[in-house]
Amino acid sequence: MALFTTIIWDMDGVLVDSERHWDEMENFFLKEAIPEWERFDTSLLVGRSLHDIYDLLTEEYGLAMSREEYVQKYNRRAKTIYGEKADLMPNAESALQILSTEGAVQALVSSSTREWIGYAMERFKLGKYFEVIISSDDVKGKGKPAPDIYEHACQKLDIGKENILVIEDSEPGVTAAKHAGLAVALYPSKENMESEFQQQADYVIHDLLEVPLLRQQGQI
């Protein structure tokens, strides 16, 4: 059976342990900006782009803040999270190194902005592993669960979709990849460990070192 020749990685919650820091920051920031905001509501934001979150907050929660001010506040917090607070997820770099040694093509596809991805790549020196890095900026700020960001990645990679395996941790991410016609391995967080959306994924993994093994299993 043929190998998956290409692995597409999500960033937050898969390679970079940033989501718990975003959760803490967003709860404080959004509680201040939206009085009726509840901590559990932060789950609605996981996997979405900066501009998609702004649209959601203004339309559904009545956020009365200009887009410019909102972006500036988030950018300041992103620089702190990716530049100082976040760590790599367990075995993230080891999995990247193994796949690189095996000759696999690797790409990074994230709903984060290119600027935020840059903070993480500079901090952790991971850019060398990726042939392609795609951010929400490349699809006019339209992040997951829309499939656009994965469709764009496939065009850039110029590789048949049947040869690609996506690694995701969130429902919007899994939905985006599946709607783009890609195989997905879910790397669940503690928060979504028992979530029903796991059934959408083709595989479920609990250690990133399982990714090189999945690659050997080939096409579904």
pLDDT for 139: 92
Does residue 161 form part of some domain? yes
Tokens of 29: 């920031």
On whether both 193 and 133 belong to a single domain, the answer is yes
Under DSSP, the state recorded for 49 is -
Under DSSP, the state recorded for 140 is T
- Per the structure, the count of domains in the chain is 2
Q: Which residue among 61, 85, 109 closes a domain?
A: 85
Largest CA distance in the chain: 55
On whether both 27 and 12 belong to a single domain, the answer is no
pLDDT for 25: 73
Q: Which residue among 63, 85, 107 closes a domain?
A: 85
pLDDT for 65: 86
Profile the chain (220 residues) by mean pLDDT over runs of 10 residues.
87 92 74 70 71 86 87 89 95 98 97 94 97 94 89 96 95 94 90 71 95 76
For residue 145, whether the previous peptide bond is cis, meaning omega lies within 30 degrees of 0, is: yes
The residues, any chain, with a CB within 8 Å of residue 129's CB and separated by 6 or more, are 96, 97, 99, 100, 106
pLDDT for 166: 98
CB 219 within 8 A of CB 165: no
On whether both 111 and 134 belong to a single domain, the answer is yes
Q: How far apart are CA 117 and CA 135, in angstroms?
A: 8
On whether both 102 and 179 belong to a single domain, the answer is yes
Tokens of 134: 């795609």
Does residue 135 form part of some domain? yes
pLDDT for 220: 42
Q: In terms of residue numbers, what domain contains 37?
A: 19-85
CB atoms within 10 A of CB 188: 20
Tokens of 140: 């006019």
pTM for the full model? 0.86
